[in-house]
Structure 1
Amino acid sequence: MRIRIAAAKRGTQGDEGVKSLAELVTDASALLYHAVVSGQNIGAELRDPIIRLREAVTAGQPVSAEAESKFLNAYARLAVLVAPVTAATLRATSRHYQSDAWLARVFRVQTMSAAQFASFLFGFLAICLLVTIGIGEGIRTFIAAVISSQEEVLKVREEMRAGKLALQGLDEQLKALDTEQPQPNQARGIVKAGLTKQREELDSRLSRLREQQLGLEEKIAKGYDTLGRITPFVDWAELRNVIVPIANMIGGFFLPLMYGALGTCAYILRTIYAQMVRRSYDARRGGEFIVRIFLGMLSGITLQWLLVRDGSTVPGGITPAVLAFLGGYSVELLFTAIDRLLSAVTGSMKTAPAEKGSPAPVNPENPAAGSG
């Protein structure tokens, strides 16, 4: 049976699943020229069927089933030869086609390839994450400074309370000394001079503590003012009593999520770069990259729960932030940690019955063996 196929327009990247013969010829020709330019030796048994069918389709000539079969066979062998490069990846990494990306239409950059758009998008996301992490780290630093100052104020107040009690005791001793021994004598003068000197030293120390307290309170007020300027949408005056839980939530939940997402962006950008060099980037993998970001965020925070203990470092000596970044860059770390945890749990569950000293089962064929 002979059929006539008119030359069709190039389909969009979303139409890769259903293509006409003319579109397949266009894709095969692109792969053929890519292989030739790359220096690969393409035999006549692969080259000729593609060229002949391209000429027939371009001229609008009828195509026989035998020619189509030879073309499909040659195309399949050529695709295996140049893999992982495909016609779709050539279009995704080439600027010769008009870009369908919304960013290209907004900025009138009509020659932006899909790979360039993806790299720009994830690079911009990485910059946003860096800015967010910087703000989060800044907020946590200021909160830590405020918490430290508040703890110092409590210590100063405790010292002042103890100093006031000691000062009150010295005043009572001096008053008692004047009451019990109204007549002046040498011993009384020596004791009174010593108590007076202690009182002066204690009074001077209390004055220094008051100045220190005022300085710390001013530092705390400035810290809250700075936090208010960084996050004007938060009323820190109402959150002073819960500032410690807020700091723990930022450091233990929010920042690991951001570091995990940043690590995933680094992995994606590296992958896109390598695929752009090899001309193997496929725009249809965009959904996989989005899923990878969510997995990276999940990995970043879950590794904190599994590996980070009360200290600020993990067994390898790295900080929790670096651990979250590595978890986002390589989500396999999460699955490895979960597998180890499951192995430890199942191992303890298997050894638990053995530790109870359960009696050995009795052999029904030889009961004496089980009881002996």
Structure 2
Amino acid sequence: MMINKKQSNSIEVSADIAQVIQEGQQLISYMAKNGQVSLAPELAEVMINAKYKLQKKQWSPQDEADVLHSYDQLAKAVSPVSMESIQAISRAECDKPSQAERAVAWYRRYTLVALLCLLFAQVYYLFGHALAHDLNALYETRNEWQLKASKATPDSAEYDLIQQSYEEVGQRLDANYNLLKVWNRVWLFGLTFKSDIPPYSKEKLDVELRRLEREQANATDLDNLHLAETRLKARLQLFENMLFAQSVLEVLQGYILPLLYGLLGAFIFVLRDLLKEIKAITFTSDSEIRYRLRLTLGALGGMIIGWFLNPQELSGLASLSPMAMAFLMGYNVDVLFAIMDQAIDKLRNALANNVKNQAPVDRNKID
């Protein structure tokens, strides 16, 4: 009769209460292993008794109330650690990594990818900047030697020296120009400029060619005309490559490099903060979402730094300091947005003060 009475007083346990009991057992195990938070014996006793009462189906409304109260006290005791963070760090199966381990592997992998992309872009930028700068300098130097050669006396020692220097500068310019064309092919996807002669210049060459043919000019005049056409095409191609390289350098310095530096800074911040959360057992799914947003904000913060730079006023090595600022902004993007918020607040207050000062003036005019 007693057994029947106990069974009649027992109630069926819901799935939520069963999960609370299981999670309470895990919280007790964490507190016992961690040692930083003291475990109240009465809380442990309630959870342990609940486990066995559940197995024996001796469950009452008072037991359910005690379990919920004990679970609430356990959750407050281990805060900021939560059941979700404990499960995210613990392995559900021995052969499968935990959620935290997968997050560490993902961020570590893509941090390395971002670093390699940044190194490639930075080396590519510095190499192209050096080629474009040297090509401009060599082109001006060759024109100076050509001017000196036109003023010097032919067949003199000075003329021979000037001619030798002119040829040497020309060879260096050709070598530099060939390297610049290879550098440009990365952005041209392997293509090259056709360098078509403008219609007016083409028509002038055709008119000159027809004139020489009518006058039956000698071969030397025709060869000189063809050389002039070839020289014009070569110069057009030279200037096209120089202008294209300069545009690519401005894009790299103003947008791509700051974005990559900001992204790398955000990755390093995420890895550092992720290790802290794993060590403190506070990593959850919300942390994953927050870190993904942090990467986007870090890249945006780095690119904002690039917007305030003028690439034409910076040399190749001098651009490293703004890039360092972009890295710092990506690492601590909160500083950037705090500055922006302060600037907006000051502007809003200034506009409000102007409106207040303008109102009495308008009243005086009406009076």
Q: Secondary structure at the match of 1:237?
A: coil
Shift of 1:133: 0.5
* Alignment counterpart, residue 133 of structure 1, candidates 107, 115, 118: 118
Shift of 1:220: 2.7
Task: Find the counterpart in structure 2 of residue 42 from structure 1.
Answer: 39
Task: Find the counterpart in structure 1 of residue 218 from structure 2.
Answer: none
Task: Find the counterpart in structure 2 of residue 77 from structure 1.
Answer: 73
Alpha-carbon contact 1:90-1:279 (below 8 Å) kept = yes
Change (3 A) 1:221 1:318: closer
Change (3 A) 1:300 1:340: same
- What pairs with 1:12-31 in structure 2 (closer than 5 Å)? 20-31=16-27
Change (3 A) 1:211 1:82: same
Task: State the one-letter code of the partner of 1:214.
Answer: Q
Change (3 A) 1:54 1:154: same
Q: Secondary structure at the match of 2:192?
A: helix
Shift of 1:343: 4.7
- What pairs with 1:163-182 in structure 2 (closer than 5 Å)? 163-167=148-152, 170=153
Shift of 1:63: 2.2
Alpha-carbon contact 1:156-1:213 (below 8 Å) kept = no
Change (3 A) 1:154 1:233: closer
Work out whether 1:204 is the aligned partner of 2:166: no
Shift of 1:216: 2.5
- What pairs with 1:157-236 in structure 2 (closer than 5 Å)? 157-167=142-152, 170=153, 199-225=156-182, 228=185, 231=186, 234-235=189-190
In the aligned structure 2, how far is the partner of 1:254 from the partner of 1:208?
A: 40
Alpha-carbon contact 2:250-2:311 (below 8 Å) kept = no
Task: State the one-letter code of the partner of 2:176.
Answer: K
Task: State the one-letter code of the partner of 1:3.
Answer: I
- What pairs with 1:259-270 in structure 2 (closer than 5 Å)? 259-270=261-272
Alpha-carbon contact 2:135-2:177 (below 8 Å) kept = yes
TM-score scaled by length of structure 1: 0.72
Task: Find the counterpart in structure 1 of residue 201 from structure 2.
Answer: none
Deviation track 1:86-131 (CA, whole Å, cap 9, x = no partner) reads 2221121123x228xxxxxxxxxx2412111101100101000011
Shift of 1:246: 0.7
In the aligned structure 1, how far is the partner of 2:71 from the partner of 2:312?
A: 60
Deviation track 1:266-317 (CA, whole Å, cap 9, x = no partner) reads 111111111111122113432221111111111111133347797559xxx9
User: How many residue pairs were aligned?
Assistant: 307
Change (3 A) 1:351 1:363: closer
Alpha-carbon contact 1:56-1:62 (below 8 Å) kept = yes
Change (3 A) 1:236 1:160: farther
In the aligned structure 1, how far is the partner of 2:93 from the partner of 2:113?
A: 28
Deviation track 1:111-155 (CA, whole Å, cap 9, x = no partner) reads 412111101100101000011111111211221122112202321
Task: Find the counterpart in structure 2 of residue 98 from structure 1.
Answer: 93
Alpha-carbon contact 2:128-2:183 (below 8 Å) kept = no
Q: Secondary structure at the match of 2:81?
A: coil
In the aligned structure 1, how far is the partner of 2:104 from the partner of 2:138?
A: 50
In the aligned structure 2, how far is the partner of 1:312 from the partner of 1:345?
A: 31
Shift of 1:56: 2.1
Instruction: Name stretches of at least 5 consecutive residues in structure 2 with no aligned partner.
Output: 1-8, 194-239
Shift of 1:209: 2.4
* Alignment counterpart, residue 192 of structure 2, candidates 218, 222, 237: 237
Task: Find the counterpart in structure 1 of residue 48 from structure 2.
Answer: 51
In the aligned structure 1, how far is the partner of 2:115 from the partner of 2:280?
A: 29
Task: Find the counterpart in structure 2 of residue 4 from structure 1.
Answer: 12
Task: State the one-letter code of the partner of 1:204.
Answer: L
Change (3 A) 1:308 1:324: farther
* Alignment counterpart, residue 246 of structure 1, candidates 236, 248, 252: 248
Task: State the one-letter code of the partner of 2:51.
Answer: R
Task: State the one-letter code of the partner of 1:148.
Answer: H
- How many percent identity over aligned positions? 19
Alpha-carbon contact 1:4-1:62 (below 8 Å) kept = no
Task: State the one-letter code of the partner of 1:158.
Answer: N
Change (3 A) 1:349 1:88: closer
Name the one with the larger helix percent: 2
Shift of 1:161: 3.5
Deviation track 1:323-348 (CA, whole Å, cap 9, x = no partner) reads 11111111112212312432554466
Task: State the one-letter code of the partner of 2:104.
Answer: S
* Alignment counterpart, residue 67 of structure 1, candidates 63, 70, 92: 63
Instruction: Name stretches of at least 5 consecutive residues in structure 1 with no aligned partner.
Output: 7-18, 100-109, 172-195, 368-372
In the aligned structure 2, how far is the partner of 1:214 from the partner of 1:25?
A: 83
Alpha-carbon contact 2:146-2:166 (below 8 Å) kept = no
Task: State the one-letter code of the partner of 1:42.
Answer: L
Task: State the one-letter code of the partner of 1:67.
Answer: D
In the aligned structure 1, how far is the partner of 2:40 from the partner of 2:71?
A: 12
Shift of 1:31: 0.7
Q: Secondary structure at the match of 2:59?
A: strand
In the aligned structure 2, how far is the partner of 1:216 from the partner of 1:362?
A: 73
Deviation track 1:150-196 (CA, whole Å, cap 9, x = no partner) reads 202321232034213323xx56xxxxxxxxxxxxxxxxxxxxxxxx8
